[in-house]
Structure 1
Amino acid sequence: MYKKILAAVDGSAHGNAVLDSVAELAKLTGGTVHVIHIRPSLVYDAGLATSVVPTEDAAEGQTVVDEALAVLREKGITAEGEVDEGLREDLAAILVERAEALGSDLIAVGPGHYSGISALLHPSVSRGVAKTARVSVLLVHSEG
């Protein structure tokens, strides 16, 4: 059980809590961890032209993954990782699709950190993953 864990990280305290939790699980099960960071993009509609704009550059996304891999490997966990891109409203679907493609048996995510009007404008990634994944989902809470 939980031999192939997909861990979604974003460079925040929530992502760090996800890493701590999956490291402990992987130690217990002898499992491996696949770290994923999705660079979210936003669609801007400027009348005649529509453009898709990433909210961070590629180097920032790779740094998030590299730092997560270093933490896991320092704890003796076999880990690999990737940076993907996607529209903010598609992040949950991307995570579920990658978990299926990788044969993951657990998806670990942090809670959404939107509040107020932002919570209405941006879909909850963790809720979307929990509703659509065909494997177990671990929602990791942090104080961050």
Structure 2
Amino acid sequence: MYKKILAAVDGTSHGAAVVEAVASLAKLTGAEVQVIHIRPSQVIGGAIASTVVPVEESDESRRVVDEAVARLRGEGITADGEVDEGLREELAAILTERADALGSDLIAVGPGHYSGISGLLHPSVSRGVAKVAHVSVLLVRADEA
């Protein structure tokens, strides 16, 4: 069924749920898993001068990926991981391009977690991935109390 899964993690409970779901699928199908975390950046400034600023520290990004890969490998799953960088508006495109480059046949993502005004300002990555992906997309929700 699935041979190569791209698992997008973000350090939230939804990212942890993605890893759990992907672990179950990979054990069932023997799939390899590529974990990816995209360190988001945003443009700060105006029309004359602007700067691209990372939203999180690179150490935090690496920790998110390393923990997910360790969890998968601990289950006997072939897994590797990477940290990419991109503007918030480009995250869905980066994920789908990476899935294409890797030959992934499934992209696993968590749902967007912005609401209200933030939801209007930040595009939904999961919706964007589902719209443009050339492969199946698994949307994984975390159990929240």
| TM-score (normalizing by structure 1) | 0.97
Question: For 1:65, what is the secondary structure of its paired residue?
Answer: helix
Deviation at residue 45 of structure 1 after TM alignment? 1.4
How far apart are the structure 2 equivalents of 1:135 and 1:141? Answer: 19
Deviation at residue 46 of structure 1 after TM alignment? 4.0
Aligned residues: 144
* Structure 2 gaps, min length 5: none
Matched ranges for 1:1-144 at <5 A = 1-46=1-46, 48-144=48-144
Tell me which moved more, 128-137 or 43-52. 43-52
How far apart are the structure 1 equivalents of 2:130 and 2:88? Answer: 17
Question: For 1:83, what is the secondary structure of its paired residue?
Answer: strand
* Deviation per residue, 1:87-136 (Å, 9 max, x gap): 00000000000000000000000000000110000000000000000100
How far apart are the structure 2 equivalents of 1:75 and 1:9? Answer: 18
Query: What amino acid maps onto 1:16 in structure 2?
Result: A
How far apart are the structure 2 equivalents of 1:36 and 1:9? Answer: 6
Deviation at residue 76 of structure 1 after TM alignment? 1.1
Deviation at residue 143 of structure 1 after TM alignment? 2.5
| TM-score (normalizing by structure 2) | 0.97
How far apart are the structure 2 equivalents of 1:90 and 1:142? Answer: 24
Deviation at residue 59 of structure 1 after TM alignment? 1.1
Query: What amino acid maps onto 2:36 in structure 1?
Result: I
* Deviation per residue, 1:47-99 (Å, 9 max, x gap): 53100000012111111110111111111111001000000000000000000
Runs of 4 or more off by more than 3 Å in structure 1? Answer: none
How far apart are the structure 2 equivalents of 1:47 and 1:120? Answer: 22
